[in-house]
């Protein structure tokens, strides 16, 4: 099964390399419409992104007379995009830009942004709104407008080392469903040497913005939002509205922190440190499935993926928040470029392209029709972890989402620092939550004064 999955991934990588190698020089003929595509994909995912752009140019782009320029812009395209917007530098703005949902206010700040809903049915019209996952539509809707097209999607999973489970007398039936179960199972998985040094941690769980919003987001029948204004989708956030739920998470974190060897909170090389056996369990994105599959196929480790744990299986129904990013488009005063940008986006979210992208990266398709393709069915059959991720993605409430707030890195820093201080015993869970709320609301106020 694992060898089949690895073969599929390698085959896809080779086919992408053929397209990337054959892209050649840009055709500057008068009949070619050139568009700039900004993205933040790097490493192996960046290679796949570049290969997809090259494949578009060699296929649909060549057919329609469109050439997409591959423009990597670093880890956050919103920073450069905001600079262009603030200086009204329309000439140097992109035609298509990959953005995270937190950056929707940046897109909204310019009258050059094209509402996706205004484009349905135009051009080749190969994709309709009903073809996309509902949570993706909700995720990138801001103040009632779909500002960008869902593109790369993920969900958070609990990865479990089944060899470590067996060593501790556990089986796949013991995969944890609740955080209390994670705590009890994790204690059994700890391995120390004769001097008390950790050989194997119970769980790798970093607590920053991404993890907190997911772990907290499941709480309650309707899920839990971090901030007001519909979690930032109806306007700029100003208040934190989840004090009790955040305290629930931090109390569990405090409990984990008191057991030597149970909690490894490092965010460094999570896939590698799980595959090597350093961490018996790991909480991380489904985008890591491909890397973990490749590494464990090489070393023979057996593992499984479980859904995001909840606090109460009877009442916690929010589900995991959608991860990933989207493709926004901009009208720079050239109707031909605008239409070309739409054709490019349509191709990128088609069922076939989304299946290729998902199989090569570990992301999940935003086009529901991808799951009906034989190639993707074979891929899912070879990877039970992908099947778990898809099931969790479709079970989650569409309204369970990360917060839209352009100061997300700042907020993440507050959360991570507070979590570290709790783990070190410097502050209590109650003090951590109070501090996060105070710091976050001050950051909201500062941003809002400058941007309203």
Cα–Cα distance for residue pair 121/118, rounded to 1 Å: 9
In the predicted structure, residue 58 carries a pLDDT above the cut 80: yes
CATH topology for the 157-320+407-451 domain: D-Maltodextrin-Binding Protein; domain 2 (3.40.190)
Taking only the tens place, the pLDDT of each residue in 278-322 is: 999 999 999 899 889 999 999 999 999 999 999 999 999 999 999
| pLDDT of res. 23 | 41
For residue 30, the model assigns a pLDDT of 53
As a residue count, the chain comes to 452
Dig out the tokens for 73 from the structure.
């812009």
- Whether 22 shows a pLDDT value over 50: the answer reads no
Contacts of 265 (CB under 8 A, 6+ apart): 204, 205, 206, 207, 419, 420, 423
At residue 21 the predicted structure's pLDDT band, cuts being 50, 70 and 90, is: very low
* Mean pLDDT within 261-271: 96
CB-CB contact of 119 with 128 (8 Å): no
At 12, the pLDDT band (50, 70, 90 cuts) reads low
pLDDT at 16 > cutoff 60: no
Q: Are 203 and 264 in contact (CB under 8 A)?
A: yes
Q: What is the pLDDT of residue 9?
A: 52
Give the model confidence (pLDDT) of 206-264 as tens digits: 999 999 999 999 999 999 999 999 999 999 999 999 999 999 999 999 999 999 999 99
Handedness of CA 305, 310, 316, 321 (dihedral sign): negative
pLDDT number for residue 5? 52
| Residue 135 or 107, more confident | 135
User: What digits encode the pLDDT tens for the residues 330-352?
Assistant: 999 999 999 999 999 999 999 99
Q: How many CA atoms lie within 13 A of 45 on its CB side?
A: 19
Residue 41 has pLDDT above 80, yes or no: yes
pLDDT score for 79: 83
Q: Look at residue 109 in the predicted model and tell me its pLDDT.
A: 83
Give a three-class secondary structure readout of the chain.
CHHHHHHHHHHHHHHHHHHHHCCCCCCCCCCCEEEEEEECCCHHHHHHHHHHHHHHHHCHHHHHCEEEEEEECCCCHHHHHHHHHHCCCHHHCCCEEEECHHHHHHHHCCCCECCHHHCCCCCCCCCCHHHECHHHHHHCEECCEECCEEEEEECEEEEEEHHHHHHCCCCHHHCCCEHHHHHHHHHHHCEECCCCCEEEECEECCCCHHHHHHHHHCCCCCCCCCEHHHHHCCCCCCCECCHHHHHHHHHHHHHHHCCCCCEECCCCCHHHHHHCCCECEEEEEHHHHHHHHHHHHHHCCCEEEEECCECCCCCCCCCCCCEEEEEEEECCCCHHHHHHHHHHHHHHCCHHHHHHHHHHHCCECCEHHHHHCHHHHHHHHCCHHHHHHHHHHHHCCCCCCCCCCCCHHHHHHHHHHHHHHHHCCCCCHHHHHHHHHHHHHHHHHHHHHHHC
* Token output for 239: 């208040």
Task: Note the pLDDT tens digit of each residue in 88-104.
Answer: 888 899 999 999 988 89
How high is the pLDDT of residue 424? 98
Its pTM stands at: 0.90
pLDDT, position 345: 98
CA 190 to chain centre: 29
What residue has token string 């907290």? 216
pLDDT over 70 percentage in the chain: 93
The predicted pLDDT at position 43 comes to 86
Give the residue, 451 or 289, on which the prediction is more confident.
Answer: 289
pLDDT at 223: 97
Q: Which residues of 83-97 are buried (b: 16+ CB within 10 A; e: fewer)?
A: ebbeeeeeeebbbbb
Sign of the CA dihedral running 435, 437, 440, 441 = negative
CATH 1.10.540.10 at 2-154+322-395, yes or no = no
Mean pLDDT of the chain: 92
Residue 270 has a pLDDT of: 95
pLDDT at 277 over 60: yes
Asked if 355 contacts 365 with a C-beta cutoff of 8 angstroms, the reply is yes
Cβ distance 238 to 229 under 8 Å? yes
Q: Which phi and psi (to 5°) does residue 341 adopt?
A: -60, -40
Closest residue by Cα to residue 307 from 326, 325, 332, 281? 281
The C-alpha angle with vertex 56 and arms to 55 and 58, in degrees rounded to 5, equals 65
DSSP strand pairing (145-146 vs 141-142): antiparallel
- Condensed to tens digits (0 to 9), the pLDDT of residues 374-421 reads 999 999 999 999 999 999 999 999 999 999 998 989 999 999 999 999
Confirm whether 2-154+322-395 and 157-320+407-451 share one CATH topology: yes
Per-residue model confidence (pLDDT) at position 87: 84
| In the chain, domain spans | 2-154+322-395, 157-320+407-451
């Amino acid at each position: 099964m694992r060898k089949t999955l690895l073969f599929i991934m390698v085959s896809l990588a080779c086919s992408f390399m053929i397209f990337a190698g054959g892209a050649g020089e840009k055709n500057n003929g008068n009949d070619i419409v050139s568009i700039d595509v900004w993205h933040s994909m790097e490493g192996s995912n960046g290679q796949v992104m570049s290969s997809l752009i090259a494949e578009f140019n060699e296929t649909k782009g060549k057919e329609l007379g469109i050439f997409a320029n591959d423009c990597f812009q670093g880890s956050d395209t919103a920073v450069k995009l905001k600079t262009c917007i603030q200086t009204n530098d329309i000439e140097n703005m992109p035609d298509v830009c990959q953005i995270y949902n937190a950056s929707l206010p940046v897109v909204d700040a310019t009258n050059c942004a094209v509402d996706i809903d205004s484009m349905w049915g135009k051009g080749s019209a190969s994709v309709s709104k009903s073809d996309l996952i509902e949570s993706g539509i909700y995720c990138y809707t801001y103040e009632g407008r779909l500002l960008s097209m869902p593109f790369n999607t993920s969900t958070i999973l609990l990865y479990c080392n089944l060899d470590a489970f067996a060593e501790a007398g556990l089986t796949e039936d013991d995969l944890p469903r609740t955080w209390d179960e994670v705590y009890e199972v994790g204690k059994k998985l700890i391995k120390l040497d004769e001097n008390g040094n950790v050989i194997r941690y119970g769980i790798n769980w970093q607590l920053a913005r991404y993890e907190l919003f997911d772990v907290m987001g499941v709480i309650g029948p309707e899920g839990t939002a971090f901030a007001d204004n519909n979690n930032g989708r109806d306007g700029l956030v100003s208040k934190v509205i989840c004090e009790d739920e955040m305290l629930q998470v931090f109390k569990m974190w405090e409990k984990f922190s008191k057991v030597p060897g149970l909690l490894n909170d490092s965010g460094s090389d999570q896939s590698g440190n799980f595959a090597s056996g350093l961490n018996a369990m790991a909480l991380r994105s489904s985008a890591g499935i491909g890397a973990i599959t490749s590494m464990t196929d090489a070393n023979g480790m057996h593992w499984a993926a479980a859904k995001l744990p909840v606090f109460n299986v009877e009442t916690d129904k929010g589900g995991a928040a959608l991860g990933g990013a989207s493709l926004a488009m901009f009208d720079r005063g050239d109707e031909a470029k605008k239409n070309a940008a739409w054709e490019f986006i349509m191709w990128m979210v088609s069922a076939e392209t989304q299946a290729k992208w998902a199989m090569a990266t570990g992301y999940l398709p935003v086009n529901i029709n991808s799951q009906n393709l034989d190639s993707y069915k074979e891929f899912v059959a070879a990877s039970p972890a992908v099947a778990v991720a898809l099931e969790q993605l479709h079970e989650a409430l569409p309204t369970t989402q990360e917060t839209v707030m352009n100061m997300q890195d700042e907020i993440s820093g507050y959360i991570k620092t507070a979590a570290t201080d709790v783990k070190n015993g410097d502050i209590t869970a109650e003090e951590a939550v109070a501090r996060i709320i105070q710091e976050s609301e001050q950051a909201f106020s500062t941003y809002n004064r400058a941007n309203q």
